[in-house]
Amino acid sequence: MQQITKKTKIKIFVISLLVVCFLLFQFIFLTILNNKQQSLSAELLSVTEQNKQLENDISYLSSDEAKKEYARQELGYVESGEEMFVGE
């Protein structure tokens, strides 16, 4: 039976240590990436909801109803046949 020399044992140890370090690094790196992905997914959901709300606001504010409401409240618009009452 062949004996393993001390030099060969050291090489095996160093290679094994490098493999373990590489695997540990990969695990840490993948964990960080996974956390970042979850964070970005949550942010995307939030921004998507905000975008939907803004689209709804734009749609409403573009409507004739919203324009009339603004004209009545801010500009004192009165339709024909209506009378404006001014409170004191």
pLDDT digits (tens, 9 = 90+) for 30-83: 999 999 999 999 999 999 999 999 999 999 999 999 999 898 888 888 887 777
Q: Does residue 35 fall inside a structural domain?
A: yes
Q: Does residue 8 fall inside a structural domain?
A: no
Q: Does residue 5 fall inside a structural domain?
A: no
Query: How many structural domains are present in the chain?
Result: 1
Q: Does residue 51 fall inside a structural domain?
A: yes
Q: Does residue 83 fall inside a structural domain?
A: no
Q: Does residue 18 fall inside a structural domain?
A: no
**Alpha carbons 31 and 56: distance in angstroms, whole number:** 38
**Alpha carbons 68 and 75: distance in angstroms, whole number:** 10
Q: Does residue 63 fall inside a structural domain?
A: yes
**Alpha carbons 61 and 41: distance in angstroms, whole number:** 30
On the CB side of 20, CA atoms within 13 Å amount to 6
Q: Which domain holds residue 45?
A: 28-75
Q: Does residue 59 fall inside a structural domain?
A: yes
The confidence score (pLDDT) of residue 79 equals 82
pTM over 0.85: no
